[in-house]
């Protein structure tokens, strides 16, 4: 019976792995470093917010310069 038990365990492990992948389920291993990954995402989000603010400011300055140039040509 040891052979059948080993075969069944292997089969079930493989099927569970496929179910986890198919349904994109989290495992304990995934949750082990969840807080660190969440912190990295939050930091990246803050960096994106800073970039967006700086880009908006630069875009505003460029639009003002363009307006001044267009008015100067008239």
pTM, two decimals, is: 0.52
Domain boundaries, the chain: 1-32, 33-74
Angle at 37 between CA 35 and CA 43, to 5 degrees: 100
For the record, the structure tokens of 29 come out as: 């291993």
pLDDT, tens digit, 9 for 90 and up, residues 24-68: 888 888 788 888 889 999 999 999 999 999 999 999 999 999 999
pLDDT band at 2 (very low <50, low <70, confident <90, very high): low
User: What string of H, E and C letters represents the secondary structure of the chain?
Assistant: CHHHHHHHHHHHHHHHHHHHHHCCCCCHHHHHCHHHHHHHHHHHHHHHHHHHHHHHHHHHHHHHHHHHHHHHHC
């Amino acid at each position: 019976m040891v052979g059948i038990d080993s075969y069944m365990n292997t089969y079930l492990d493989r099927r569970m792995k496929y179910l986890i992948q198919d349904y994109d389920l989290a495992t304990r291993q995934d949750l082990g470093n969840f807080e660190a990954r969440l912190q990295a995402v939050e930091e990246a989000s803050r960096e994106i917010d800073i970039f967006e603010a700086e880009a908006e400011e630069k875009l505003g300055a460029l639009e003002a310069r363009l307006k001044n140039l267009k008015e100067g040509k008239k």
